[in-house]
Structure 1
Amino acid sequence: MDHDTVRAVDPDIADALEAEIGRQQDTLAMIASENHVSEAVMDAQSSALTNKYAEGYPGKRYYGGCEHADTVEQLAIDRAKELWGAEHVNVQPHSGSQANMAVYIAALEPGDKILSLSLTHGGHLSHGHHANFVGEHFEVEQYECDDDSGYVDYEALHETAEAFEPDMIISGYSAYPREVEWERIQAAADAVDALHMADIAHITGLVAAGEHENPVGIADFVTGSTHKTIRAGRGGMVLCGEEWADDIDKAVIPGMQGGPLMHNIAGKAVGFKEALTPEFDEYASQVVVNAEALAERLQERGLELVSGGTDTHLVLVDLRPSHPDTTGKDVEEALEEAGIVLNANTVPGETRSPFNPSGIRAGTPALTTRGFTASDCQTVADCIADVVDSPEDEAVLAEVSETVGELTEKHPLYE
């Protein structure tokens, strides 16, 4: 993969692009929200559609010349409906956070009440953190995971909902390794006459492949990212019933966005088509198998996992029981030096700053895309555990780096 056309105009950018391909090839991407899209998706995202303004929706554009944009967007919509079983889909949000914003604009008024999972327990900024637009414009109360089990405390959630009387309850999380019980959260919403938004940003692909229960038809709104486990073009989407279709579409444009990123929507359409194949179902199943293998070996090596394991694509390690003087940031930086890229993360009952927390989060979607097996992920777990045990030992880092090199050579990214 070269960038000769870019190089002829801008060698500095060409150098950076080629260096990034090299970085991805030579390191293990284990940030749970990252993946490697196909060359077909990248081709679509770099297409001539980047030149086209297409405000509005298929058949109802503000500008002319949108016949091919209409085709692309309608294909993305139709494929999303098939993947997730939704009555209505909007594929224009530029990100998962903007998909969430569209729901808030469509369904809430400033000052309304939102109940969501605490950020330190695995929630997301766009669910109500005080530094985010949600925290600034809505009254937010948060529920938590049980500190001992690591699972969402559904009973406490229900009690909090009855006391707080929210207008909306948010489910779906950013750093939660267990399957979400959508029906239990819907019951809490029904009890207080609240709306329910399920954010499946991390698990869009697992839901599409049937590896995780689908909240479509349970929650009023389902939002998601399109570039994580679903492995399509970067962006967001909103899924809902027909009764909310017009409100959602108006919230996206003119409510919060202008022209859609049609080249990204093309990437979404291509990725969705790939996700409709049996091969994708096999991929999603392997993502979960690999995460389980990663989790089991990390536990065998003495590391404690939040909730004691995983049902999804990620594991969350609490370093405090086994390595009380080691922070997540210490481990993140040492692992990156050795070629493994993951992130420091807060854990339930967090006692440190979110900028230097007590845990690490590791995901298997990108490794699985490269063809990693459960055995490979056990090897990766040993590498992680070795670095956790000795984050400042240069000999250990060198040995792990050598193993990473062997794995990346065994599983090349873009041949």
Structure 2
Amino acid sequence: MRCVPEARPGAAATAPGAPPEPSDSRSRIAPWASPAAQQRLATLEARPTGGTTEVAAAVERAQRDHRDRVADGLMLYAGTNVLSPGVEAAHDGSLSTRPAMGWPGEKEQTAVEEIEQLEVLAIGQVAHALRGRYAEVRYLSATMANLAAYVAFTEPGDTIAVLSPEAGGHTSHQEADGAAGIRGLTVAHLPYSPEALDTDAVAVQAFVEQVRPRLILVGGSVALFPHDLGPLRAAADRVGAVLVYDASHTAGLIAAGCFQDPLAEGADVVTFSTYKTLAGPAGGAAVSLAAEHAARLAAAAYPTLLSNYDPSRLGPLAVAAGEAVEQSPAWAVPTVECAVELAARLHALGLPVIGQHRGFTQTHQVVIDAHGLGGARAAVRRLASSGVHAGTCRVPWQRPGTPPEGIRFGTQEFVRRGGGIDLVPAVADLVHQCLTATDVAPLRAVTRDLRGRLTCDLWGRPAPAPAAADLPAGPR
């Protein structure tokens, strides 16, 4: 007997497999979305798909076009990266459908002995890379790792102290629309010094004694300089708080020995993304030195936040962590050097680069104040129309609730794709022209020419051939 699925509502009026015609201009899949999202979604939803063969072709076309867009442009977004050949080779997608719940030796499933081996490899490599004794690697994102820390060390109704979004704190640290709010926590923002671009070491003492948070969290989305963890550690000890450091953007630099060592400097737990500077598969992790902290983080992972997870991440993550430590080929030091040079060049060209008095940056990130450039969102769109890809961020002196006023660049993918400090002056000139020129249309050819000078990546892989035709700038 053949099973025939019931027709979807409205399907009779359309060709088999085609989406129903919208009754108005709203998106069918997210009619609650913003006007800008509605417009984009309506365009995408209007594209015919048909049956499985047509869907597969549309998938292949979208993936190819994305590869072409990246190949033709200059990727300076601070939260992305390109995988090494070793990390790519370690990925086995067939593992992603294999549940493996619990610790090795007490799994709920059988036929998972090799996944147990991969778990041990990944845990060992990640813990070693971040200079910890214990690692939890099953989290699906750094946001989940942060939520796990809240579950592990707080109770609903507790207060935590974090950086504000303007000071670089991530959404997952916040109470409104953030993971902290999901846990039912009250969020207090740490005193911050815009001049020091760090917490206010003097004010934080009295603040913590008054607020008495159960958890203090620093690090996050904007990471130009190390945090002074000494005063935070002392304050945490006085009130019995756990000190957590979100190294999502700097984990790879920490592993390479090119940035501060949070655990050695006083943090109890380090959470992080595994795909940014660490250059592994997408996901999150946490490391610690104390078994008590590690046991709580593991219990928060399973069974609290996860049942199954994606074991196909384990092999690539183990390799990426090892590569970040070994630095062969070296990418961490050149990444920071290129960021410092890019910031200095942009400043010399008259752009308001943040952090001049401290040398601009000590990481892969460079931040420009875009208040005088029409705002960060408009500036990032101008860059994208020229094939230069960056992101927005908030800056310390802007008002809460206002649109982002910072442009955040990152040099990590530029370096791993073969870029060196010799090309940074040309990159800075291009960025400056994109942000100041009246007509940016001719700059797309400049970007393509500059991108063509990256002939091979750090591992000798030749750069992808340019697309046969320009892809439309911005959303398609």
TM-score (norm 2): 0.80
Q: Does 1:110 align with 2:159?
A: no
Q: Does 1:406 align with 2:448?
A: no
* Corresponding residue number in structure 2 for 1:255: 304
Q: Deviations over 1:163-186 (max 9, x none)?
A: 211111101121131122222321
CA shift for structure 1 position 358? 1.7
CA shift for structure 1 position 159? 2.9
* Corresponding residue number in structure 1 for 2:398: 350
Amino acid at match of 1:181: D
* Corresponding residue number in structure 2 for 1:362: 409
Aligned partner (choices 147, 168, 172) of residue 126 of structure 1: 172
* Corresponding residue number in structure 1 for 2:474: none
Amino acid at match of 2:174: G
On the 8 A contact 2:373/2:379 being kept in 1, the answer is: no
CA shift for structure 1 position 362? 0.3
State the distance in 2 between where 1:404 and 1:132 align. Answer: 39
Amino acid at match of 2:306: Q
* Corresponding residue number in structure 1 for 2:46: none
State the distance in 1 between where 2:317 and 2:422 align. Answer: 31
State the distance in 1 between where 2:106 and 2:429 align. Answer: 55
* Corresponding residue number in structure 2 for 1:246: 295
Aligned partner (choices 365, 368, 373) of residue 314 of structure 1: 365
* Corresponding residue number in structure 1 for 2:322: 273
In structure 2, the CA distance between the partners of 1:413 and 1:75, relative to structure 1 (3 Å rule), is: farther
On the 8 A contact 2:456/2:463 being kept in 1, the answer is: no
CA shift for structure 1 position 46? 4.3
Aligned partner (choices 63, 86, 90) of residue 136 of structure 2: 90
Aligned partner (choices 211, 229, 238) of residue 277 of structure 2: 229
In structure 2, the CA distance between the partners of 1:238 and 1:117, relative to structure 1 (3 Å rule), is: same
* Corresponding residue number in structure 2 for 1:191: 238
* Corresponding residue number in structure 2 for 1:153: 200
Say what the alpha-carbon RMSD is for the aligned residues.
2.2
* Corresponding residue number in structure 2 for 1:3: none
State the distance in 1 between where 2:186 and 2:399 align. Answer: 25
* Corresponding residue number in structure 2 for 1:166: 213
Aligned partner (choices 301, 313, 319) of residue 264 of structure 1: 313
Aligned partner (choices 51, 58, 64) of residue 110 of structure 2: 64
Q: Does 1:27 align with 2:78?
A: no
Q: Does 1:378 align with 2:378?
A: no
Secondary structure of the residue aligned to 2:138 is coil
State the distance in 1 between where 2:98 and 2:54 align. Answer: 24
State the distance in 2 between where 1:156 and 1:31 align. Answer: 34
Q: Deviations over 1:205-254 (max 9, x none)?
A: 11111111211242111111111111112111111221222221111000
Amino acid at match of 1:268: L
Aligned partner (choices 40, 51, 56) of residue 10 of structure 1: 56
State the distance in 1 between where 2:253 and 2:404 align. Answer: 28
Amino acid at match of 1:187: A
CA shift for structure 1 position 352? 8.1
State the distance in 2 between where 1:92 and 1:399 align. Answer: 43
State the distance in 2 between where 1:395 and 1:9 align. Answer: 33
**Highest relative contact order (Cα 8 Å, sep 6+), 1 or 2?**
1
Residues paired across the two proteins, number: 404
CA shift for structure 1 position 105? 0.8
State the distance in 1 between where 2:134 and 2:150 align. Answer: 17
Q: Deviations over 1:14-42 (max 9, x none)?
A: 11112222222222221111111123323
* Corresponding residue number in structure 2 for 1:52: 98
Secondary structure of the residue aligned to 1:210 is coil
CA shift for structure 1 position 346? 1.4
* Corresponding residue number in structure 1 for 2:268: 220
Amino acid at match of 1:128: Q
CA shift for structure 1 position 398? 3.9
Secondary structure of the residue aligned to 1:10 is helix
CA shift for structure 1 position 414? 5.8
Secondary structure of the residue aligned to 1:234 is coil
The answer to which structure has the higher helix fraction is 1
CA shift for structure 1 position 8? 10
* Corresponding residue number in structure 1 for 2:435: 388
State the distance in 2 between where 1:257 and 1:410 align. Answer: 40
Q: Which runs of 5+ in 2 are unaligned?
A: 1-51, 466-476
State the distance in 2 between where 1:370 and 1:332 align. Answer: 22
Q: Does 1:304 align with 2:352?
A: yes
In structure 2, the CA distance between the partners of 1:340 and 1:394, relative to structure 1 (3 Å rule), is: closer
In structure 2, the CA distance between the partners of 1:394 and 1:315, relative to structure 1 (3 Å rule), is: closer
In structure 2, the CA distance between the partners of 1:7 and 1:269, relative to structure 1 (3 Å rule), is: farther
Task: Kindly name which structure, 1 or 2, has the bigger radius of gyration based on alpha carbons.
Answer: 2
On the 8 A contact 2:223/2:250 being kept in 1, the answer is: no
State the distance in 1 between where 2:195 and 2:270 align. Answer: 29
CA shift for structure 1 position 149? 4.3
Amino acid at match of 1:79: Q
Q: Deviations over 1:173-202 (max 9, x none)?
A: 211311222223212212322110111111
Q: Which runs of 5+ in 1 are unaligned?
A: 1-5
